[in-house]
Structure 1
Amino acid sequence: MTDCGCEKARKDLEEYLRNEMCATEHADIREHLEHCPACRDEALVATTLTDVLARACKESAPETLRDQVMATLRAAQASHH
């Protein structure tokens, strides 16, 4: 087993999660995560956050909410001129 260590695993976590590293480094970090609960938890948080943000970016506000926001912005702009 080659243990890349917590510092390296955390430093390279984003690249690991996006599969932006060579296969050897990827395997080293994957192995470290399998044996280190703290780093594994950090990877889980990062993955969950990424998934939530991706879903949020795909969702759109209901038409009525968008209309209300735009009306509020127009009113605020009109009151400042």
Structure 2
Amino acid sequence: MTDCGCTKAKAELEEYLHHELCGADAADIQAHLAGCEDCATEHLVGRTLTEAVQRACKETAPEDLRDQVLARLRALQSAH
């Protein structure tokens, strides 16, 4: 495990956030994040955004809103 540096850490941060890196690469980035405040902050922002998107994808629209959207889409389709 080595410190991979900011360039590599930032380039592979998205894959790191989604657990898509091999063990050695992930360990290198983890080591870098432990010692680099700038990259650790960027990681925190990425993790926060990822978690917010994951939560949003689990939510469903209220039934009345869903019905309104579908009715509007049907109206637009029939107009063409």
| 1: CA distance, partners of 2:36 / 2:10 | 11
Q: Indicate the residue corresponding to 1:39 in structure 2.
A: 39
| 2: CA distance, partners of 1:77 / 1:21 | 44
Q: Do structure 1's residue 25 and structure 2's residue 25 form an aligned pair?
A: yes
Report the number of matched residues. 80
In structure 2, list runs of 5 or more residues that go unmatched. none
| 2: CA distance, partners of 1:64 / 1:22 | 45
Q: Indicate the residue corresponding to 1:51 in structure 2.
A: 51
| TM-score of the aligned structures, taking structure 2 as reference length | 0.83
| 2: CA distance, partners of 1:73 / 1:18 | 34
Q: Indicate the residue corresponding to 1:11 in structure 2.
A: 11
- Structure 2 CA distance for partners of 1:36 and 1:63, relative to 1, 3 Å: same
| TM-score of the aligned structures, taking structure 1 as reference length | 0.82
Structure label with greater radius of gyration:
1
In structure 1, what residue type is equivalent to 2:77? Q
| 1: CA distance, partners of 2:15 / 2:71 | 42
In structure 1, list runs of 5 or more residues that go unmatched. none
Q: Do structure 1's residue 61 and structure 2's residue 58 form an aligned pair?
A: no
Give the superposed CA RMSD: 1.8
